[in-house]
Amino acid sequence: MYTIDNKEYPCCTSVTMKFIGGKWKAVILFHLIDGAKRYNELRKLIPTITERTLSLQLKQLEEDHIVNRKVYTEKPPLMVEYTLTDFGKTLLPVLEAITNWGIAAPDLSVKKIIRN
């Protein structure tokens, strides 16, 4: 049993999924592997995510210390940049495995997965 913020998780897998679970978190993290991205860059890279969902997921990732949010206010317009924290970078092997599985899935699947 694991406890995070007074919430219990039954196993180590549920702990991992607490941080990267859901439809969008792993996708967002995948796009941050190459380095810092601005909010609008992420929106363009993930066109099917809503602004509200992207904003909420980034906020959760920041609260979990997976993503760092840096605000540049020196000159207008205001710029916000997101990067992986050192703790977030520990997820790179997991993200790489998820990515590799997704690349291979169309060739291995019994269901029809079409790579566009």
Q: What is the pLDDT of residues 11-20, one digit of tens each?
A: 888 888 888 8
CATH class of the domain at 2-105: mainly alpha
36's tokens: 């810092």
| Domains in the chain: boundaries | 2-105
pLDDT at 16: 87
Contact 54, 39 (CB under 8 A): yes
12-20 and 25-32 are packed helices; what angle lies between their axes, rounded to 10 degrees?
70
The phi-psi region of residue 20 (left if phi > 0; otherwise alpha if psi is between -120 and 50; otherwise beta) is: alpha
Average pLDDT over residues 79-89: 95
- Predicted structure pTM score: 0.87
The answer to whether residue 3 scores a pLDDT higher than 80 is: yes
Residue of 41, 45, 44, 95 whose CA lies nearest to 66: 95
